[in-house]
Structure 1
Amino acid sequence: MASCAGGGDEPLTDALLARAGSGDKDDLEEIHSVSAFLRCAAEENRRLWCLAGPAIFTSLAQYSLGAITQVAAGHLTTLELDAVSTENSVVAGLAFGIMYGMGSALETLCGQAYGAKKLPMLGVYLQRSWLLLTATAVCMLPLYLFATPILRFFHQDDQIAVMAGRFSLYMVPQLFAYALNFPIQKFLQAQSKLMAMAAVSAAALVLHVALTWFLVVPMRMGLIGLAVALNASWWFVVLGQLAYIVMGYCPGAWNGFELDSLAFTELFSFARLSIGSAIMICLEFWFYMFLIVIVGNLPNAQVAVAAVSICTNLFGWQIMVFFGFNAAIR
């Protein structure tokens, strides 16, 4: 290997993680010794963490919104913890997997457009994804509206099914926040705007903790308070990221809303790509959904669901670390 980041004629020898605006000065040195190799590896590792760090934090912060809601529900009653866990893992988990998967199609499209210097197409792809995911959210509304009979069909504990169904009705705004949030995330990731995403997610996490405490402890609003706090936090994430975009921090990539036919063309091809992406990712997310459904059929289901939901929360935080790395290297 001649070099790990030479600025020569072969494109495959260019640094993969060159710093923005760095030019040839930041190209890594040619490797002729073990010490040079170690310096090269350390520099590439530092650059990778500059991307992965904010992405990991964003994933952890956004996952923590639902996890904190479950923790707060655990301070109410076991039944309310079960209801929130079932809605979060089964109802919202199903929607999350589909929305995240379909939104991930932008990783390919926006990455190609950004690499080809066709920046205006990033905004077009973003708006196409919004249209498609919003339509998908409308199609998924019956899952939220009829959560109680659906859970009863799968032989869940009747008390859990009724309360989880009621909480699902409160969480409909979150479904539409998903439809806007995941395309925005992929749009920003393609441009390496990871620090902006991390800052918005950090602010949302602080807001969520404060609002959850206020509505549940002093106001004693119970499930309604949990739902209001979680919906407000997710919409804060959406509006915060959207404000960053429309304020001009993505020059060239965002030129306003496309009111002509450009954003409405090739929707069928776009949908096929999005659905294919969703199928792969849903298989990963739905493991937790099936686990909660199976546990709900055990004797003393209320205790079993509560115990498993706590375990899956802890495991979910670990998974988010790898999701952050995944976002950084794409």
Structure 2
Amino acid sequence: MEQGGAFQIEMQHGHGNGKSIGAKTLDESKKMWEIAAPAILTTVAQFSIGFVTVAFVGHLGEVELAAVSVVQNVLEGFVFGIMLGLGSALETLCGQAVGAEQYEMLGVYLQRSFIITTVTALLLLPLYIFTSPVLNLLRQDKKISELAGKERIVVDCRLAQLAYVVSGCFPESWTGFSLLAFKSLVSFVKLSLSSALMLFLELWYFTIVILMVGWLKNPEIAVDAISICMNLELWTLMITLGFNAAISVRVSNELGANHPKAAKFSVLVVLFSNNLEVIKETSKLGYLLAATIFLNSIQPVLHGVAVGAGWQFSVAMVNLICYYLFGLPFGALLGYKFDLGVKGIWLGMLAGCLLQTLVLMLNVLRANWNQEALQAEERVRSHAMTALPQNDSTESGIITDNRGSERTAEK
């Protein structure tokens, strides 16, 4: 990769020595924005497609809006959670490899990810082919399921818009396709599966909320209302998701470079329808939407820390408990038993998000960053030793940077 690029941002050993807290904060903030700004633009461009689609379809009719919402939030949400999770292993490994100055490993990691995600995409393809039967099996409204089956044809076409361009801009990180990509696939798959499980449990939580709303009386209105709220919520997430990527890169860079204090400091800095019934139902969710948006200003940043540090599996367990063992049952109780409908289901979802945010915040505050730096060094060394020729330094168990200087953890 290019020496000045996003993944390439690097703090020198003894980060911030002699600087005031204000100067260090400003310095770290600049580095955050260098990564976050392009990430925000990418996220806006990516999610604008769905947002604009919902805005237009909402004026065609309530059934049409519900069908598109189910495809976007249930079908695409399910697939996106798995694929994004598998790919997010790169955020941990590439960031830490850059911190350790193992630039040649970036291309190898990328190829390994290609192998895993391509196989997974083929396994998930039947969901797009049999959308209507799957939704009927999930007891969704028949009219919505039938129309959603037609909508997924457009989704199939969108998948073909993705293309990979390989250039010679980053000679240090991309040396061409190599059989080394097939080595150490097991350890790579383990981290990828942990990442996939973490994000899958996160995204599927909101997918199940849509399904639960679809089981209420008059599902068209209910699904429309919660879909509008979720799209508005997603729109407010754009900046936060950009910082999710930024904090992930910064933490993984610093841990890979064996700078636990710098990693800890990075964490501290970042702390459509005209139907009257739909509009009325949506307006009832206003306060809950505001509370959810507030939590979403914190939650993605904590997730970015988790990915950068390689905590995917532990966060997945937190998501499982907070969302599925607490949030969804609580929402079902309020929505069905106490007859609160959409508001009750959303309140349960919000309670699960609040509990998860508190647990993640506690984990970040209690983290031993010196230990995390040592684990990151070991992770990079284990992958590098299996994929690249060993030199004297790796045989002796010491990782040296490209300048030949040994790195020791900051005390």
Contact 1:29 1:40 in 2 (8 A): no
Partner of 1:68: 52
1:14-51 per-position Cα deviation (integer Å, ceiling 9, x unaligned): xxx99969989xx85724xxxx4434433332332222
Aligned pairs for 1:51-200 within 5 A: 51-174=35-158, 177=159
Q: Work out the CA distance in 2 between the residues paired with 1:50 and 1:285.
A: 27
Output the CA distance in 1 between the equivalents of 2:89 and 2:9. 25
CA contact (8 A) 1:78 1:306 kept: yes
Q: Could you say which residue in structure 2 is the equivalent of 1:204? A: none
Q: Look up the SS of the partner of 2:237 in the other structure.
A: helix
- Mark the CA change 1:18 to 1:45 in structure 2 (over 3 Å): closer, same or farther: farther
**Compared CA separation, residues 152 and 128, structure 1 to 2 (3 A):** same
- Of 5, 15, 18, which aligns to 1:30? 18
| Residues 53-90 of structure 1: CA deviation (Å, up to 9, x unaligned) | 22223223212222122222223332222111100000
The 1:96–1:39 alpha-carbon spacing in structure 2 relative to 1, beyond 3 Å, is: same
For residue 224 of structure 2, the aligned residue among 302, 306, 315 is 306
Q: Which runs of 5+ in 1 are unaligned?
A: 1-16, 178-230
| Aligned residue-pair number | 242
Partner of 2:25: 41
Distance 1:18 1:96 in 2: 23
Counterpart selection for 1:288 from 192, 206, 212: 206
Task: Report if the CA contact (8 A) 1:141-1:172 is conserved.
Answer: no
Contact 2:210 2:226 in 1 (8 A): yes
Provide the residue aligned with 1:203 in structure 2: none
| 1:276 matched residue in structure 2 | 194
* Cα gap change, 1:116 to 1:44, in 2 (>3 Å): closer
Q: Contact (CA 8 Å) 2:8, 2:98: kept in 1 or not?
A: no
Are residues 18 and 157 of structure 1, via their aligned partners in 2, closer, same or farther at CA, if it must alter by over 3 Å? closer
Aligned letter for 1:63?
F
Cα deviation, residue 264, structure 1: 2.1
Contact 2:40–2:242 under 8 Å retained in 1: yes
Q: 1:135-189 CA deviation, whole Å, 9 max, x = no partner?
A: 1111111211111111112211101001112222332354xx4xxxxxxxxxxxx
Instruction: Note if contact 1:119-1:252 (Cα within 8 Å) is conserved in structure 2.
Output: yes
Alignment-mate amino acid for residue 117 of structure 2: L
Residue 270 of structure 1, CA deviation = 1.9
Alignment root-mean-square deviation, CA:
2.6
Equivalent pair of 2:9/2:31 in contact (CA under 8 Å): no
**Amino acid in the other structure paired with 1:30:** G
CA distance in 2, matches of 1:292, 1:120: 43
- Which residue number corresponds to residue 285 of structure 2? none
CA distance in 1, matches of 2:100, 2:220: 54
Once residues 190 and 221 of structure 2 are traced to their aligned partners in structure 1, the CA distance between those partners, rounded to angstroms, is 42
Offset at 1:257? 2.5
1:233-278 Cα offsets, whole Å, 9 max, x none, are xx2xx43xx33xx2322221122223xx222223233222211111
Match of 2:175 among 255, 278, 283: 255
What CA distance in whole angstroms lies between the structure 2 residues aligned with 1:138 and 1:270?
Answer: 19
Partners of 2:177 and 2:238 in 1: CA distance = 32
Q: 1:81 to 1:263 in 2, by over 3 A?
A: same
Once residues 85 and 256 of structure 1 are traced to their aligned partners in structure 2, the CA distance between those partners, rounded to angstroms, is 41
Q: Distance in 1 between matches of 2:49 and 2:92?
A: 27
Post-superposition Cα deviations, 1:271-301, rounded to whole Å, max 9, x if no partner, equal 2221111111111111221111111111211
- Other structure's SS at 1:248 match: coil
TM-score by length of 2: 0.54
5+ residue gaps, structure 2, are 1-5, 249-411
The one-letter code matched in structure 2 to 1:290 is I
Q: How many angstroms apart in 2 are the aligned matches of 1:143 and 1:284?
A: 20
Asked whether the equivalents of residues 95 and 140 of structure 1 are also in contact (C-alpha less than 8 Å), the reply is: yes
Q: What's the TM-score, normalizing by structure 1?
A: 0.66
Q: How far apart, CA to CA, are the structure 2 residues paired with 1:308 and 1:108? A: 33
Q: Is the 8 A contact 2:10 2:99 kept in 1?
A: no
* Amino acid across the alignment from 1:75: H
* 1:200-239 → structure 2 map (5 Å cutoff): 235=161, 238-239=162-163
Q: CA deviation at 1:109?
A: 1.7
